[in-house]
Amino acid sequence: METSSWPAIWLIIILVASPLMPSLVLGQDLVPAPTSASSALDSRFVTGLPTPLPLAPGDLLAGPFPLSGTSPLGICFLPDSILWGQPVLYTADLYSGEAEVYDALTLQFLSTINSPQGPSTTTGITTDGIFLYWAIAPTGLSFLYRSDLDGANPVNLGQFQHPGGGLLGDIAMASSDSIWVNDIVNDSFHLMSAIDGSWLGESHPHPDGSGYGNGVAYRAGCGLLEIPHGSDNAGRVVMISVGNPVEQASVAPIDISTLGTFLNGIETSRPFAPGPTDLFGVYSIYLIDNAANLLFVIEGNDPCPSVLPPLGLVTCSTDGGPTATIDWQPLAGADGYRIWSRGLLLAELPGDATSFETGPLTLPVFAELCVEAFEGSAWTPLECCTILLPGCITPPITLSHNADPDLLTPGSVNCSVNGLHDDNSYWRTFSHCGFPFGLNEPISVLGVRFGIENSIPGIGFDTQPVVVRIHSDPDGGDPAPISSLQLLYEETFEVPPVASEFYCASLATPFEIDCSTDLVVEIFTPDGQAQGHLFYIGSSASPQTLPSYLSAPDCGIPDAVDLALLGFPDMHLTIDLLAESTVPPGLDFSRGDTNDDSLVNIADAVFLLNALFIPGSPQLSCDDSGDVNDDGGKNIADAVWLLNWLFVPGSPLPMDPVDCGLDPTADSLDCSISTACP
C-alpha cells in the first residue's frame, strides 16, 4: 500500500499492520524469531536488471496532463451525461473536499464540485451513470456516500462493513447495486452493497500479493479488476495487476514503471456506467500520479484476456555467479512468454522458450523472477520464484550435520535487546575424515552455506554484516573452550533483507586441510544495536549428527554451549561446509588392459605376470588396469582372475570399468597414463 501521501493516523495503522515489526524485548535474553516475520525487500537490490521493454498495452495515448486539484486520487469515467453534455472524468481530491470534472477526450478542465463531507479524507469515487458514490474516511473509518452528478444532495449511506474493517482506498462500480473496494490494510478486495455499504459476501486477496497501490477499476465487459500495484520489493507502483475474481488469478499485467512515481487513481474506458467507450480508439486506462498531479491515458489489453492453466514447475537457479535463471514447463501451443521482475517487464520470448537468464546483477540481491505464457488473448497466471545471490553451486563435497540440509523451519533464537541483536556466534564442528563423514583425503575449503530465518537490516541500510570464521580445534570434540581455537580464516559478508533462504559465503581465498585438522565454523553477527539490525540464523528440527552451539556474552553465554542444554533441543543450525578434494582425479582406463593396446586378452595376463615377477620387464603405465579384481592391490590374483575369465566358462568378468571409465573404488593405485582411453 502507498503511504507517502496519507495522513499521520494512516501511517500509524500501516505500521501496526506490518509483519516486519519485531516484538519489543525488555532486557537482554535469548529471543525466538517472530513466526510471522517476513523480509522487507527493496527495489535497490534489483540494480543491474535490464531496462524494461516497451509494451503495446501500456503505450501512452495521452498526457501527462496537469490536473487542477491539489491532491487527486480517486477517478471515474462517466461516458454519457445529460448534465455535462459530453463524456467526463471526475477526479476526487484526497483532502480538499472537492472533485474536478474534465472532458474525457481532450482532458480539459470543466468544473469543480464539492464532495459530500467537505474537507475530509476522500479515497475513492465512482458512478453508475445516475449518481456519484464516494469513499470518505472522516475519522479513519471508511463510509459510503452518494450524491447527484454535480455533487448536490449528498447522503451518508453508512459505514463500509468489510471483513477486517479499517481504511479503504479506491472504489469501482460493479453493478447498479454493488461496488468493488480496495482494502489497503489487508491487501484484498471486497464486493460491497451500493445501497448501505454492507458486505455482499465476496472477497479476494490481491492477485499479485501484498505491496503498494490504493486504486481499483472494474472493467465491466470482462469482469476484471485492474489495480495499480508494486510489490514490497519494488518500493512503488510499477504495474497494473489484472485480476479475474472468478478464476482468482492474475492475468496479463501491464508495465507502467516508466510513468509516474506515485500512481494510484485508475479508471477503465469500459466502466459499468453506460455510454460511448474507448474515446481514444482502443481500450484505454486512465491513471493519476498523485504526487505530480498528472493524468495519463494508456492502452490496455484488448480483447479481454482470459485465463489459461498455470505453467507449473517454475524454478529459479544460479551457477554461483551474478546471474539468475528462471525455468518453466512449456505450454503446448504458446505464442510466447513474458518475463517479469518486481513489476518490470524484462523480456518477451518465443513460444519454444523454456528458460531465461538475467544479465549480471549487483550483489547481494534477492532476485524475484516471474513468467507468464500467452496464446492469443489467453494468458497463464503470473508465476514467480525467488533466489538469493550470490547463490550456491553444487560443490564436489558438501559436509552437513543435518539429515535434510535444505530444510528451514521457524524456531531460531538470538541474544537481543529491544528487538535488535547483540553479539551472537553460532558454531558447527567438522572433522571431514572422522564421524560422520569418513573421508580419507585432504580437501580444499571453498565456502560455507548457512540458512537465514530472517535478516532485517536497520533503516537506511541495504545490508547487514555477517562474519564467517573458520578455526582449527587442536582438542577436537565440541568447540569449548573457544579460547583454544586457532583462527584459520575470516571474511565478512553483506546480507540483504531476506527470509527463509540460504546464503552461500564463497571464500575469497580457499585453503587446504588434511585429515589431521578438525574444523570449527563460526557464524558471527556483530552487535546491531547502533545500526538497528536484526538477524536470525536458519535452523530446523531435522535430525543432526552432532550438536549445534551458541555463544552470546551479553546473555551470559561467554563460551560455546550446546543449544539443547540452553533449552532449544530442536534448533539444529543449518551450517554446511563446502569443499573439494585436492587429490587429482584418476584417468579413464579399461580394467585388464594392462599393455594398453585397447584389447583384453591373454597378452595382458602375460604382461602383468612379467611386470610382477621378471626383473627388467616393462611396467604398467596404468596400475589400476592391473587391479582386475578391484581389491586395491596389483598381484598374481589379478592375473588368475583374468585367465579364468578368458578360458574358464562362467568365470566373472573383470570389475568395472571394463570399457574406459574411472575407478569407482577409492584405493592407493592410480592411472598416470592410458593411451587406449582418450
Peptide bond into 481 cis (omega under 30): yes
C-alpha cell at 545: 549428527
Which pLDDT does position 25 carry in this prediction? 28
Q: Are 41 and 233 in contact (CB under 8 A)?
A: yes
CATH number of the domain bearing residue 576: 2.60.120
The answer on 116 and 69 residing in a single domain is yes
Average pLDDT over residues 533-558: 96
Is there a single domain that holds both residue 296 and residue 331? Answer: no
State whether 375 and 468 are in the same domain: no
Indicate whether 363 and 491 sit together in one domain: no
At 421, which helix (H) or strand (E)?
Answer: strand 420-421
State the Rg of the chain over Cα. Answer: 34
Each residue of 49-106: pLDDT tens digit?
333 333 357 889 998 999 988 889 899 999 998 899 999 999 999 999 999 999 999 9
Model confidence pLDDT, tens digit, residues 120-150? 899 999 999 999 999 999 888 999 999 999 9
Which single residue is written with the C-alpha cell 501511517?
11
Residue 194: predicted pLDDT: 97
Strands ordered across the beta sheet of 519-525:
486-495, 464-472, 519-525, 424-430, 549-552, 557-562
Interhelix angle 602-613/636-647, rounded to 10 degrees, is 160
The percent of the chain in helix, strand and coil, each rounded to the nearest 5, is 5, 40, 55
Give me the mean pLDDT over the 329-336 stretch: 94
Q: How many CB atoms lie within 10 A of CB 481?
A: 11
Residue 19 lies in a domain: no
Contact status, residue 552 vs residue 423, Cβ threshold 8 Å: yes
Q: What is the pLDDT of residue 35?
A: 47
Q: CATH no. for residue 604? A: 1.10.1330.10
| Neighbouring residues of 574: CB distance < 8 A, sequence distance ≥ 6 | 402, 405, 407, 408, 449, 450, 451, 502, 537, 538, 539, 540
Same-domain status, 197 and 297: yes
Q: How many residues does the chain have?
A: 678
Question: Is residue 9 assigned to a domain?
Answer: no
d(Cα 301, Cα 254) in Å, to the nearest integer?
8
The domain in which residue 644 lies consists of 586-678
Sign of the dihedral through C-alpha 302, 53, 232, 379: positive
pLDDT digits (tens, 9 = 90+) for 238-276: 899 898 887 777 889 999 988 888 898 999 999 999 988
Q: How far is the C-alpha of 247 from the C-alpha of 226, rounded, in Å? A: 14
CA dist., res. 626 & res. 609, Å (int) = 10
Amino acid at 290: N
Residue 554 has pLDDT above 60, yes or no: yes
* 2 within a domain of the structure (yes/no): no
Q: What is the CATH number of the domain that holds 283?
A: 2.120.10.30
pLDDT number for residue 31: 62
Question: Is the four-CA dihedral 654, 660, 661, 667 of positive or negative sign?
Answer: positive
Nearest to 112 by CA among 78, 67, 63, 144: 67
Q: Which residues contact 631 (CB under 8 A, 6 or more apart)?
A: 637
The whole-number pLDDT of residue 672 equals 67
Same domain as 532, residue 469: yes
Tell whether 418 and 459 lie within a shared domain. yes
Question: What SS3 state is found at 73?
Answer: strand
Q: 302 and 153 share a domain?
A: yes
Distance of CA 351 to the CA centre of its chain: 25
CA 172 to chain centre: 32
Q: What does the pLDDT look like over 566-622, one tens digit per residue?
A: 999 999 999 999 999 886 666 778 899 999 888 999 999 999 999 999 999 999 888
Q: Which of 564, 581, 598 is the last residue of a domain?
A: 581
Q: What is the phi/psi pair of residue 518, to 5°?
A: -95, 125
Query: CB neighbours of 369 closer than 8 A, spacing ≥ 6?
Result: 316, 324, 326, 339, 340, 341, 346, 356, 358, 384, 385, 386, 387
Q: What is the DSSP string of 354-411?
A: -EEE----PSSEEEEEEEEEEETTEEPPPEEEEEEES-----SEEE-SBSSTT---S-
Question: For residue range 85-100, what is the model confidence (pLDDT) as tens digits?
Answer: 999 999 999 999 999 9
Cell 540481491 found at: 365
Cα distances from 118 to residues 5, 27, 128, 173, 421, in angstroms, run 19, 49, 22, 22, 48
pLDDT of residue 665: 74
Amino acid symbol at 389 = L
Sheet holding 72-78, edge to edge: 72-78, 88-93, 98-103, 109-114
> Which of 581, 616, 642 marks a domain boundary?
581
Domain annotation covers residue 44: no
The three cell numbers locating residue 62: 495521452
Residue 7 lies in a domain: no
Residue 454's pLDDT band, with cuts at 50, 70 and 90, is very high
616 assigned to some structural domain: yes
258 and 319 share a domain? no
The whole-number pLDDT of residue 549 equals 98
Q: Which three cell numbers stand for residue 505?
A: 559465503
What is the model's pLDDT at position 550?
Answer: 97
Tell me, yes or no, whether 112 and 196 share the same domain.
yes
What's the pLDDT band for 212 if we cut at 50, 70, 90? confident
As a whole number, the mean pLDDT across the chain is 87
- Which triple of cell numbers denotes residue 232? 514490497
Structural domains in the chain (count):
4
Q: Answer whether 223's CB lies under 8 Å from 246's CB.
A: yes
Amino acid at 260: G
User: Domain for residue 52, yes or no?
Assistant: no
SS3 call for 237: coil
Q: Are residues 182 and 297 in the same domain?
A: yes
Q: Which of 307, 333, 367 is the last residue of a domain?
A: 307
Residue 365 is predicted with a pLDDT of: 86
**How far from the centroid of its chain's Cα atoms is residue 192's Cα?**
34
Cis peptide before 303 (omega within 30 of 0): yes
- Looking at 218-232, 401-415, 557-571, which range is the least confident one? 218-232
Pair (536, 595) in one structural domain: no
Query: Residue 33: which pLDDT band, with cuts at 50, 70 and 90?
Result: low
